[in-house]
Amino acid sequence: MPYAHITGWGMYVPEPVLTNDDLAKIVDTSDEWIRERTGIRERRIARAHEFPSTLGTKAALQALSVANLRPTDLDLIICTTSSPEYVFPATAALIQDQIGAPQAGAFDLMAACSGFIYAVNMAAQAIRSGSIRNALVVGTETLSRFVNWQDRSTCILFGDGAGAFVLQASSQPGGVLSAVMHSDGSGGNLLTLPVLGGRVPANEATLHRGHQYIYMDGREVFRFATRMMVSATEEVLRNARLSKEEVSLIIPHQANYRIIETAARGLRLPMERFVVNVDRYGNTSTASIPIATVEAVQSGRLKPGDTVVFVGFGAGLTWGALAAKWTGPLPSPRKITVSRYRLVGRVRSLLRRLQRYLEGLIWGRKA
């Protein structure tokens, strides 16, 4: 049975920065309150021409470049997002087209902020089963479009960004060691975004009631999060037969500094063992774990051979954790220029559209 290694990683955050002081001009809040209660100082906000697929594509191309893998060699793309570009088509399919990955199946996975852990686990399971060799997992968000900028309890929290991993099969032991995924739908009402779904139609009445915005019971989510971060980490380590001492780094979902601090206390681990960047990006939902991972690699905190635990929680309610032996790119004979494949992919995509248009002319279109 092959092992599933994480061989590439990438991230992208939009340039515009929204600071706590900027927010204090919009709602009744202060830099001091936000920093004390959440640890957040600023977040990034997507520009009008940036969408989940735009951000996700940039992160994906970087991840493929690190892995030195051609987009054309991808068998599977899983995009996980809490702010999809459309209900359908899947954001994963938009990314498949934009990176030029004609052999890849593509679908979205919805597990809110736990999505990235779920998706990496699903990709790893597909690789371990032998059915695929190369997978791309993307977490991408433009949550700023679903935030009620008049609601001070939620608008301070969220930010936009994307992160991606490439996973590949190898006979070398290592890579994803174990994973746990959990859910409790009885808490579904604690964190919701109603209007994108089939239950609450987008009409004048529902929009007037603000159903197009994120609703959250912050205190309840906080209590749930601190409990589940501890239990999921302990469970995944038990399954992988690892002790806490063997873990080099824990990369948690970045929702609130206090949640991470409380979980660290619960696990009796020092904060130095945790990666925290919520101060600069806020909560980027499915993108927060890969963004934190990329920064940990870039700063030298995560190195090949290290044991790392990813742990997250979110709406659903969902939660999960994944333990991995960190690998890095697999050896390959020559350097690949991913942008060249992307260009070919763009041309292929244009030709497909043209072909469809011409076929429409030949076979006739219904008005």
Chain Cα centroid distance, residue 210? 26
Structure-token pair, residue 156: 């301070």
Do 38 and 157 meet the contact criterion of CB atoms below 8 Å apart? Answer: yes
**Choices 51-59, 121-129, 167-175, 214-222 (CB under 6 A): range interacting with ligand UT7:** 214-222
Least Å distance, CB 139 to ligand UT7, is: 12
Quick count: other Cβ atoms within 10 Å of Cβ 301? 17
List binders of ligand UT7 among 129-158 (CB under 6 A). 152-153, 156
Site track 19-38 with ligand UT7 (rule: CB under 6 A), x = hit: ----------x---xx--xx
Give the chain's end-to-end CA distance (angstroms, integer).
53
Helical ranges in the chain per DSSP H: 20-24, 31-38, 52-67, 91-99, 115-128, 152-155, 204-208, 218-239, 257-267, 278-281, 288-298, 338-363
Among 52, 314, 316, 320, binds ligand UT7 (CB under 6 A): 314
Q: Considering beta carbons, is residue 134 or 288 the nearer one to ligand UT7?
A: 288
Residue 324 φ then ψ, to 5°: -145, 150
* CB of 68 or CB of 254, closer to ligand UT7: 254
Rule CB under 6 A: say whether 290 interacts with ligand UT7: no
- Contact mark string toward ligand UT7, 254..273, x via CB under 6 A: -xx-----------------
Which residues are within 8 A (CB) of 199 and not within 5 positions of it... i.e. 6 or more apart? none
Could you give the string, one character per residue 92-121, with x where binding to ligand UT7 holds by CB under 6 A and - elsewhere?
---------------------x--------
Q: What's the min distance (Å) between Cβ of 61 and ligand UT7?
A: 26
Burial label for 197, CB within 10 Å (0-12, 13-18, 19+), is exposed
Catalytic residues: 113, 253, 283
Please identify which residue in 91, 283, 286, 293 interacts with ligand UT7, judged by CB under 6 A: 283
- In terms of CB distance, is 250 or 338 closer to ligand UT7? 250
Query: What CA–CA distance (Å, rounded) separates 258 from 223?
Result: 11
Size of the site for ligand UT7 (CB under 6 A): 20
221 closest CA partner among 319, 323, 94, 335:
319
Maximal CA-CA distance, the chain: 69
User: Of 44-103, which residues contact ligand UT7 (CB under 6 A)?
Assistant: none
Min dist. Cβ of residue 193 to ligand UT7 (A): 11
Chain positions contacting ligand UT7, by CB under 6 A:
29, 33-34, 37-38, 113, 152-153, 156, 191, 216, 218-219, 221-222, 225, 255-256, 283, 314
